[in-house]
Structure 1
Amino acid sequence: MDYTTLLIFSGIIAAATYVQTVTGFALGMIVMGAVTMLNLVPIAFTSVVISLVTLVNGLTAIKGERQALDRRRVGAVMIGIVPGLALGLYLLTFLSSTHQTLLHFALGLAIFVGGMLIMLRPEPLEQPSSQPVFMGAGLASGFLAGLFSLAGPPLVYLFYRQPFELKTIRICLLGIFLACSSVRTIMVGFQGQLTADVLIFSACCIPMVMLFTWGGKRFPPPLSSTNMRRLAFALLIGIGASLMLRAAF
């Protein structure tokens, strides 16, 4: 294990954890994009670590706030997520062994589009979307989660269109990411991807996740919600564009 790599990886995890705790999303996109851009560890390795640390972030972030969870919508999303996860994991295994350049370009594109979705401010719907819409978003989210541990973009866009309180949106997103990471971890465990290095990296990152999740809840940044979204947008657009350009040239 390279301790310099672990130190940099932990720092990225800490920053991304804080952002996700404050906004309800972006941990996977920031970590996957930054780690891949710096060429620290392979995409498949990073995705497993993200799944494990998201478990800790979700459990810590929603503690004491589960009353804000819309279990009906979360359940509908999870129905779609499970088959999407299986498909995404299969494609990740295939591309990791045969098409690394395509995999990096697809990652950059997913992060770039995810950043764009963060900045879209659609008018809230007058009535909540139907259950099939939540299931469809879950399927798309599960596919991205299986492929890159990036469950956020489809769900962030959908939930921010709903006529829900912001706290409900944030807790629903965190709860879904928690459940999605649990399912993904079980799946990769059956694939034999929970290696010693993955577990060591994850164990070393967990204290940072707990600390910065607590910090995000107790000490939110002195920025408006709009400015936080703009900051995340700029970061993700930069990371996504960089990955696509590197893969293309």
Structure 2
Amino acid sequence: MTWQAVQASLPLMLLLGFATYFQTVTGFGLGMIVLGGASGFGLAPVASVAILVSLVTLINSALALPGTWHLIDWRAVRAATLGIVPSVVAGVLLFDYLNGTASNILHLLLGAVVLYGGIGSAIRPAPRTERAGDAGFFFSGIFGGLLSGMFGISGPPLIFYFYRQPLTLVQIRCALILLFAVTASIRTAYSALAGQLPASMWWQAAIALPVVTFATLFARRHPPPLSGTTTRRLAFVTLILLGAHLTIDALTAML
């Protein structure tokens, strides 16, 4: 890779650094921020960015999770993972099967649901009084896996569900980072089998490595001083922005 190519990738690397810090603090956001920013500012093809996000997510998880394993709600993570594993593949196959119009309609519905859920949750950011059963985590994993397979965005269902539980923010953050690592592993394996990991992609991942490493370690040592309610509201406002972006993007494609 030439020096000119490295310079051209700097805006994307800055976006990756910010998104990595955000995800390390909140437990989510890396994929949504990078994909939305890359699409909105035309930094790189969305398909290649989605693969890069998967590789970067694995790096972030490997740096953010050590020392926190005892804080993870393994029962919830196990139930969600059982839903994620088969549904990611199903989402990829479903997206390949649908034509452009049907895909845009699903994209529009996704944006509307995320927008509605984000607004409702931001208005009432307090968690539930009782922890949900395993079935709820399982179905959040199914819907998260489907969205990951179809659009490369697995966050909304998992974020909604985990942030509504009476868990500590550290428990929520660690569980989400681990689940996104599971999703990224499946997508990376699928991309490798499909021959979608060229040498240029590995070069981009190598350039992103120091950026992601610094952002992750900095976030672990210097998290922002936010209260639990403020952090939850920040999570839901982020979903509102994502839902609005998805809705506008789908409407633009349809028109």
TM bin, normalised by shorter chain, reads 0.7 to 0.9
The partner residue of 2:185 within 182, 186, 199 is 182
Residue 27 of structure 2: aligned partner: 24
Residue 128 of structure 2: aligned partner: 124
Higher mean alpha-carbon deviation, 156-165 vs 172-181, is at 156-165
Question: 2:42 aligns to what SS in structure 1?
Answer: coil
Q: For the residues of structure 1 that align with 2:142 and 2:115, how far apart are their CA atoms?
A: 20
Higher mean alpha-carbon deviation, 154-163 vs 221-230, is at 221-230
The partner residue of 1:245 within 241, 245, 248 is 248
Letter of the 2:202 counterpart: L
Q: For the residues of structure 2 that align with 1:160 and 1:236, how far apart are their CA atoms?
A: 12
Residue 52 (str. 1) matches residue 49 (str. 2): no
Question: 2:50 aligns to what SS in structure 1?
Answer: helix
Q: For the residues of structure 2 that align with 1:242 and 1:222, how far apart are their CA atoms?
A: 28
Q: For the residues of structure 2 that align with 1:197 and 1:84, how far apart are their CA atoms?
A: 29
Is the Cα contact below 8 Å between 1:140 and 1:154 reproduced in 2?
A: yes
Residues 107-149 of structure 1 show CA distances to partners (whole Å, capped at 9, x for unaligned) of 75576467547635254242x3222222111110111122233
Residue 63 of structure 1: aligned partner: 66
Alignment of 1:1-249 (within 5 A): 2-93=5-96, 98=100, 102=104, 112=115, 115-116=118-119, 119=122, 120-121=124-125, 123-126=127-130, 128-231=131-234, 233-234=236-237, 237-238=240-241, 240-242=243-245, 244-245=247-248, 247-249=250-252
Is the Cα contact below 8 Å between 1:48 and 1:188 reproduced in 2?
A: yes
Q: For the residues of structure 1 that align with 2:114 and 2:219, how far apart are their CA atoms?
A: 23
Letter of the 1:64 counterpart: G
Change (3 A) 1:212 1:110: farther
Higher mean alpha-carbon deviation, 85-94 vs 102-111, is at 102-111
Instruction: Give how far 1:43 is off.
Output: 2.3
Paired residue total? 247
Change (3 A) 1:25 1:242: closer
Instruction: Give how far 1:86 is off.
Output: 0.6
Q: For the residues of structure 2 that align with 1:231 and 1:124, how far apart are their CA atoms?
A: 17
Which blocks of at least 5 consecutive residues in structure 1 are unaligned?
none
Q: For the residues of structure 1 that align with 2:120 and 2:24, how far apart are their CA atoms?
A: 18
Q: For the residues of structure 1 that align with 2:107 and 2:198, how far apart are their CA atoms?
A: 23
Instruction: Give how far 1:191 is off.
Output: 1.3
Q: For the residues of structure 2 that align with 1:26 and 1:135, how far apart are their CA atoms?
A: 21
Q: For the residues of structure 2 that align with 1:135 and 1:237, how far apart are their CA atoms?
A: 24
Superposed CA RMSD: 2.9
Q: TM-score, normalised by structure 1?
A: 0.85
Change (3 A) 1:105 1:124: closer
Letter of the 2:45 counterpart: P
Q: For the residues of structure 1 that align with 2:39 and 2:235, how far apart are their CA atoms?
A: 18
Which blocks of at least 5 consecutive residues in structure 2 are unaligned?
none
Q: For the residues of structure 2 that align with 1:181 and 1:59, how far apart are their CA atoms?
A: 12
Identity %: 38
Is the Cα contact below 8 Å between 1:77 and 1:137 reproduced in 2?
A: yes
Q: TM-score, normalised by structure 2?
A: 0.83
Residues 60-111 of structure 1 show CA distances to partners (whole Å, capped at 9, x for unaligned) of 111111111222221111111012101222244456x856992875775576
Q: For the residues of structure 2 that align with 1:63 and 1:202, how far apart are their CA atoms?
A: 21
Q: For the residues of structure 1 that align with 2:228 and 2:121, how far apart are their CA atoms?
A: 11
